[in-house]
A = this chain, B = another copy of it.
Amino acid sequence: MGEFELIGRYFAAAACARVGGELLQGIGDDCALLALPPGEHLAVSTDTLVAGVHFPDPCDPFLLAQRALAVSVSDLAAMGADPLAFTLALTLPQAEPAWLEDFARGLERVAAHCGIRLAGGDTTRGPLCLTLTVLGRVPAGQALTRAGARPGELLCVGGPLGAAAAALPLVLGTSSAAPEVAAPLLAEYWTPRPQLALGRWLRERAGAALDISDGLLADCGHIAAASGVRLVIEQARVPCPAPAKTFLGAERALACACSGGDDYRLAFTLAPEHVAELAREVWPVSVIGRVEEGAGLCLLGPDGDEIAISQGGYNHFAEPSAERPAAPRRNA
């Protein structure tokens, strides 16, 4: 199968690659062309997933495609942006029809769910690696950044944390669990759901926001640094999913929720009156702390004492450490 045939059969023919809406020109020319509605800014993010580093190799291509696109779209949610289009750079050791078919199906599924179109990309031969660039639109001046947290705001997260990190031994096949425990954990790892509607609701309301990829503590550290504030997190209020507690026990599940990463749920700061409004509109969010004057992070234990924070999250290119598992890594 030639490169052009591969693109034509598996990607250009996909429903998500159809020209329409803001996508004026898709796959097949030197560039794709997009229209951006007046008064809107463009949000852009690029993420790479390397086989054996960010995901086990081999793995199910249907799940891999879903995870890759969802992780990328999550960065749009974190800015309060609406998805427009994405490009896919796919490097493959060889072109296997069955693999490509499943991969394209996974991509299509998340693309349809998120309302994003495949605008173009590149297919090359080499060690398996994917780079996705997502493009979104956000009303001018309303993008959510990490820099706007204000003292007096509450710190919230968009749902339970730690399931994807808890799932890692299951993903890597180094551990097993009963299906009713394993299934929801594996689903969190392979098919994160970008919180697009929450991101949209937070525009003009949240002080700061991001999606949790490096781990709650590391990412809250990013908000504190970018905003020039101190974030106080009450550990007892960090929501842990039941299957993680069943699988790992309460203590290790809490460690996953605080430092695990790969959650792709939003963390954000919000004035108390907006939190009440959010609760009325029944978003499953949790208040886990508050924004104060100062700098850095403060993690409070159940007795109100400060807990020392050792290792916040994952960092590529850091020297290997015995504490860190040889496991798939996070994408920012």
Contact = CB atoms under 8 A, between A and B. Distances in A.
A94 B124 CA distance: 22
Contacts of A210: 29-30
Interface stretch (A105-113, A139-147, A157-165, A270-278): A139-147
A267 to B, nearest CB: 11
A63 interface: no
How many copies make up the complex?
2
Contact of A31 (B43, B49, B50, B131): B43
A315 B129 contact: no
A46 B79 contact: no
A23 to B, nearest CB: 10
Contact of A50 (B38, B124, B134, B147): B124
A197 to B, nearest CB: 17
Contact of A124 (B54, B81, B88): B54
Given A127-B129, A317-B123, A318-B2, A32 B48 contact: no
A135 B1 contact: no
A31 B315 CA distance: 19
Contacts of A329: 124-125
A238 B191 CA distance: 52
Given A33-B138, A317-B3, A46 B120 contact: yes
A75 B29 CA distance: 9
A87 B44 contact: yes
A315 B131 contact: no
Interface string A31-65: 11111101001111111111111100000000000
Contacts of A28: 146, 226
A189 to B, nearest CB: 18
Contacts of A44: 31-34, 85, 87, 119-120, 133, 135
Contacts of A35: 41-42, 140
Contact of A25 (B38, B145, B211): B145
Given A3-B317, A25-B143, A131-B89, A45 B120 contact: yes
B125 A127 contact: no
A324 interface: no
Contacts of A131: 46, 48, 89, 122, 131
A2 B146 CA distance: 20
Nearest to A138: B33
A127 B127 contact: yes
A289 interface: no
A316 B119 contact: no
Contact of A317 (B6, B43, B50): B6
7 contacts: A3-B317, A25-B143, A32-B45, A42-B42, A50-B126, A95-B317, A126-B127
Interface of A: 1-4, 6, 24-25, 28-36, 38, 41-54, 75-76, 78-79, 81, 85, 87-89, 91-92, 94-95, 119-127, 129, 131, 133-136, 138, 140, 143, 145-147, 210-211, 226, 315-318, 329, 331-332
